[in-house]
Structure 1
Amino acid sequence: MWKSAEALAVAIVMAGALAVAALPSHAELAPAAQKGEAGKKAQAKAEKGKAQQAVNAAAPAAAATAVKVAALGRPALAEEIAAWDIDVRPDGQGLPEGKGSVKEGEEVFLEQCAACHGEFGEGAGRWPVLAGGAGTLKSERPEKTIGSFWPDASTAYDYIHRAMPFGNGQSLTADQTYAIVAYLLNLNDVVKDDFVLSKENFAKVKLPNQPNFFDDDRETTEKAFWNANPCMKNCTGEVKVISRARILDVTPDGEQKGNLE
C-alpha cells in the first residue's frame, strides 16, 4: 500500500519514464521491408552524429592540453639580465660609468694585450693589427684597423669589454676598458697623449673612416632593378676577372688551377 497519493503519483511517473527509455528506436521498430537503403542511410547518419558528439566532447580536453604550462625554468633575475645587457651603441648608450687615460691604457695594454697585438698595435705574428693603415683602403692590400677602417669607437669598447683579453673576456673593469680604448685611439692619431676617455666625452670621438659608412639604402637605390619577371637567360655580356685574390693566386683563369701548397 502506498502511504500517500503523492508517493503513488511519483511512482507512476518514474515507471512511465523507465518504459519510455526502454522503448526501441524508430529504426528498430520499422519492418524489415522498410530497412532498405533508407534504413542504412538513417543508421549511417546516426553513427556520424555520435562520432561528431565524441569529437566535440574531446575538443575541450585537447584545447586544455595544448595550453598546459610546462613549468620549466623561472623568470630571469635583474642581475642576470644586466650581465647580458652590455652592448654599447655609437651614441654612447650602454656605456658604464668610468674613465681611463691614454697613459693608463698603455700600461694595461702592455700587460693584457701586447702579447697578441704588439706593443704599438702592429700585431704579433698573425694576430690582428689595431693601429696604422691610414690611406690603404683603396690599395691591393688594405690594412683595416681601428684608425683606418672602423666607423665608431663604440665598436672597440664593446668588443674589448665583451671578449678581450682572448680567453678571458669580461675580466677587464670599465676603467681599464676606457683606458685601453683611449690608448688605441692615441696609437691611431685620433686623440692626444693627455686624453682621458669617459662616458661623458665618448660620443664626441669621431674615427677617420666614419663618414664612409652609411645606412643600408637598397630599398631606394636598387628599387629600379626589382622586377616581378627577372631575366633568367643571356642577361649580361661577357664576364671578366677584374681582380685577383691576394693569397697565392687562387682566382680561376681558364684551365689554370690555384696553388694552395
Structure 2
Amino acid sequence: MALEGSLQDMSLVDLFQVFRMGPKSGMLILQHEDKRGVIYVHEGRLLDAFVVQGVARTVIATRDEAVLSLLAWHEACFVFRHDLSVVGRPTRIEHDAEWLVLESMRRSTRTPVASTYQNLTIETRLQLSPLPNSAESSVSLDVDQWRILSHAANNEDLQTICAATNIDKERTFRIVNELLAIGLVEIAPPSKRRAPRPAVAPPTMPMAASSEPSSVTPPQHFTQPLNDCAKVAPTSTAVGRSLLTAIMRRVSEL
C-alpha cells in the first residue's frame, strides 16, 4: 500500500523521520507544477535523488543538491512506493537526512519547518525523542545545540532554557526547530497538575456566653485517664527501682 499525501499534510522532514523509524525501503516521488523529484530510500537511509523539470524531463539537480532543493518545497503532492529493488542501487548521496535538513535550514532565510512547529512558546516544554536502535546519524551539532539538547533531557521549558544558556529567544526557537526537524527532541505533553487540597480550618473552641471569667469543669473522660496515670506512676517507678536494685545486687555477687 502506497503512502500518499501532500507536503502541507506531512512535510518532507516528517517523511524522513517516518522512513527512519520504519525503516522503509522504496521510492518517494514528489510533484510540484512542472517539476518532479525522486528520492530513493533503503532501510531509512537516503540513497539517491534527482529533480527534473518540464516535458523533456530536464535534470536540474541530483544527489545531495536534489534533496536540498526538495526540502525548499512547501507545496507538492507525494507518493511513496515500497520497492525492494532499491537494494541494488548505489549510494550517491554523501550526507544523511539529518545533515541535509540542517543544511537546508541554514541556507534558507525562512525556516522550512517553521509552519510545522509554529506553536512554540516560552512555556513549551521539551523532551528527548525515542530513537530506534537502528538509527545512526553523522550530523554534528554546534555548542549551542548541545547546550539546549542537554536541557531538553531535563524536560525544561524554553523560558528556563533561555535563562540557563543565556541564548536569546529568537535563536533558541530556531535551534529548537532544528532539533525537532532532525528528530532529536520533541514537544513534551502538558503535565497534569494535581488540584490543591482545600484548606481545612482548625477546630475552634466554643466561646463562653459571658465575658466574665468562669471556672470550667472538664468532662469526666478528660480527667479519668490523667487520674489513672497519676495512680499508676508511683507503682511503675517503684517496680523499676526494685528491678534495678536486684540487677545491681546480682552483678556484685558475680
TM-score, structure 2 as length reference: 0.20
Structure showing the higher helix proportion among its residues: 1
- Higher percent of residues as strand: 2
Larger radius of gyration: 1
Give the TM-score normalised by structure 1. Answer: 0.20
